[in-house]
Amino acid sequence: MADVVARDLTLSTAHRRLTMQKFVRRKSTIAFFMCLPLILVVACLVVYPAFYSISLAMMNKSMQHFVGFGNFAFLLKRNTFWMVVEQTVLFAVTAVIFKALIGFIAAHFVHNLPAKGQRKWRGMLLIPWVIPPAMSTLAWFWLFDPSYSAFNWVFAQLGIPQVAWLGNPYWARFAVILVNVWVGSPFFLIMYLAALKSVPEQLHEAAMIDGASWWQKIWYINLPMMSNIIQITALFSLIVTFANFDIVKILTNGGPVDQTHVFATWAFNWAISGNDIPLGASVSLFMAPILALAAVLILRNVRQRGNEA
């Protein structure tokens, strides 16, 4: 086939093809150079530190000797470490579940509104996500203040006993999760609303003719249609929540008695406040396996989605 075509080629088209080839080759070179700054930044400021932290984690406190897995062994023997593991998992999983639930429910409510009015509500509901978390956490901190808590004032008016929001370990755990859910749900709301809009209206019409209830429509139509975005969003959020720093640092700084520490804040306290960089690095490295798992799952989901499309 190619021979037949080649025989018919005039000199000029052959020439043009040659320059095209050269052009393509040049194009990929340009493309590579366009990516070069990105590759450099990622290599120097993300990949290199990620690997450097592994070698750091194997040093002693003064960073003079190689201690192998000594730091990890030291951590595994400490009760506080296991408490941090427990709290981080509890914090991340509970927060993501509630963010997803609230986002899912709120997205349906917004979706029920006439199209004109949606923008306004969406705009208001996204505000918690736009405020820098450090700033909004300060507001929460003030709402939870031991002597001037505005929540406790309302409780007092209603005759409900006062709550030591940040003083009691259980309430403190509740508080950090609550603030995280408050910050993160709007993100879920927006993602799920976008997913909801992509569910074909005909499916709902067909279901209505078949006599499906609103619950059946959500369960048998919306949920399966949205499942991919639900998963991707939840996994994204799991990574971010798992590595959360701002909220816990400002709200409780790990207290009372280290009950609310997550990996990031505990690592910070070791490395920066406690001046033990290797131990801090080894604490933060414990985040890596879970992050890697979530990353693999997201990539699989994204690919799947690409294949379906």
Partner 1 sequence: MTTAIADAGHTPGVRYGSISQGRRRTLYWSYFFLILFVIVFLTPPVYMFITSLKSSAEISAASNPWWVYNPTLSNYADLLTQKTYLIFFRNSAVVSLCVVTITMLISVLAAFSPRMKFWGSATLATGVFLAYLIPDTLVFIPLFKTFAFIHDKRGIELINHWWVLIILLPTLTVPFCTWIMIGYFASIPKELDEAALIDGAVYPDADKIFIPVALPGIIAAMIFCFTVSWANFLYGLAFTTSADQLTLPVGIVTTLIRGDVYAWGQIMTGALLGAAPPLIIYAFLMDYYIAGLTAGATKG
Interface of this chain with partner 1, residues 76 to 135, rule: CB under 8 A: 102, 105-106, 108-110, 112-114, 119, 121-128, 130-135
18, 73, 150, 257: which one contacts partner 1 (CB under 8 A)? 150
Q: Say which residues have a Cβ less than 8 Å from residue 199's Cβ, sequence separation at least 6.
A: 221, 222, 225, 226
Binding test (CB under 8 A) with partner 1, winner from 45, 73, 76, 293: 45
From candidates 18, 139, 160, 293, binder to partner 1 by CB under 8 A:
139
H/E element holding 144? none
- By CB under 8 A, how many residues form the interface with partner 1? 102
Q: Which of 32, 66, 82, 219 binds partner 1 (CB under 8 A)?
A: 32
Binding-site member from 104, 165, 268, 269 for partner 1 (CB under 8 A): 268
Angle at 224 between CA 221 and CA 228, to 5 degrees: 140
Specify the 3-state DSSP secondary structure of 57. Answer: coil
CB-CB contact of 60 with 278 (8 Å): yes
DSSP state of 216: H
Q: Are 264 and 220 in contact (CB under 8 A)?
A: no
Window 182-211: contact mask with partner 1 (x via CB under 8 A):
x--xxx--xx--xx------------x--x
Q: Which is nearer to partner 1, 172 or 278 (CB)?
A: 278
Nearest to 180 by CA among 245, 124, 229, 230: 245
Rounded Cα distance between 50 and 66, Å, is 18
**Binding of residue 74 to partner 1 (CB under 8 A):** no
Is residue 73 a contact point for partner 1 (CB under 8 A)?
no
Residues 6+ apart with CB under 8 A from 100: 188, 230, 233, 234, 237
Contact 240, 188 (CB under 8 A): no
Kindly state the smallest distance separating residue 236's Cβ from partner 1, in Å. 6
Pattern 2-21, binding to partner 1, x per CB under 8 A? --------------------
> Among 15, 27, 65, 78, which residue interacts with partner 1 (rule: CB under 8 A)?
27
Q: Please pick, from the candidates 101, 206, 288, 293, the single residue that binds partner 1 as defined by CB under 8 A.
A: 288
Q: Which two tokens stand for residue 161?
A: 């006993």
Cα angle 149-151-153, degrees, rounded to a multiple of 5? 75
Q: Does 287 bind partner 1 (CB under 8 A)?
A: yes
Shortest Å, Cβ 174 to partner 1? 15
* DSSP assigned state of 136: H
Candidates 14, 18, 35, 76; binder of partner 1 (CB under 8 A) is 35
CB of 106 to partner 1, least distance (A): 5
From the CB of 15, what's the least distance to partner 1, in Å?
16
User: Of 236, 115, 247, 225, which is closest to residue 181 (Cα–Cα)?
Assistant: 247
Of 76-84, 88-96, 162-170, 278-286, which part binds partner 1 (CB under 8 A)? 278-286
Q: Which helix (H) or strand (E) holds 64?
A: none
Residue 281 makes contact with partner 1 by CB under 8 A? yes
**Smallest distance, partner 1 to C-beta of residue 3, A:** 27
Residue 37 burial (CB count, 10 A): 9
